[in-house]
Amino acid sequence: MSIEISNLGFSYGKREILHDVSISIPDATLVNVLGPNGVGKSTLFRCILCLNSDFTGTILVNGKNVKDLSVRERSREISYIPQSHAPVYDYEVLDVVLMSTGTDLGMLRSPGPRHKRKAYEALERIGIAHLAKRTYTQISGGEQQLVLVARALAQDAKTIIMDEPTSALDYGNTVRVLSCVRQLAKEGLSIVQSTHQPDQAFLYSDKTLVLHQGRVHAFGDPKDVITNELVSTIYGVNVEVNSLYGDKVRVCVPVQEIA
Q: Whole-angstrom Cα distance, residue 32 to residue 198?
A: 9
Q: Is the dihedral of CA 74, 28, 25, 122 positive or negative?
A: positive
Burial class, 39, CB count within 10 angstroms (exposed 0-12 / middle 13-18 / buried 19+)? buried
Cα–Cα nearest to 23, from 229, 234, 207, 226:
207
86 lies in some domain: yes
Q: What's the average model confidence in pLDDT over 214-230?
A: 96
> Which pLDDT value is given to residue 251?
92
> Which pLDDT value is given to residue 168?
82
DSSP code string of 5-26: EEEEEEEETTEEEEEEEEEEE-
184 lies in some domain: yes
pLDDT at 87 over 80: no
Cβ–Cβ < 8 Å for 92, 131: no
113 lies in some domain: yes
Range of the domain at 124: 3-226
Q: Strand 56-61's sheet: what is its strand order?
A: 15-25, 3-12, 56-61, 64-65
255 lies in some domain: no
Task: Spell out a b/e string for 173-203, using b for 16 or more CB atoms within 10 Å of the CB, else e.
Answer: bbbbbbebbeebbeeebbbbbbbebbbbbbb
> Which pLDDT value is given to residue 259?
62
Ramachandran assignment for 97, one of left (phi > 0), alpha (psi -120 to 50 degrees), beta (any other): alpha
Domain count, the chain: 1
Confidence of residue 213 (pLDDT cuts 50, 70, 90): very high
Give the model confidence (pLDDT) of 105-133 as tens digits. Answer: 666 567 788 889 999 999 999 999 999 99
The runs of H, that is alpha helices, within 49-140 are 71-77, 93-98, 113-126
- The CATH number covering residue 83 comes to 3.40.50.300
258 lies in some domain: no
Give the model confidence (pLDDT) of 128-164 as tens digits. Answer: 999 999 999 999 888 999 999 999 999 999 999 999 9
20 lies in some domain: yes
Confidence of residue 23 (pLDDT cuts 50, 70, 90): very high
> Which pLDDT value is given to residue 141?
87
235 lies in some domain: no
Q: What is the mean pLDDT of the chain?
A: 92
In the chain, the percentage of residues whose pLDDT exceeds 90 is: 78
Confidence of residue 169 (pLDDT cuts 50, 70, 90): confident
89 lies in some domain: yes
Give the model confidence (pLDDT) of 42-75 as tens digits. Answer: 999 999 999 999 999 999 999 999 999 999 899 9
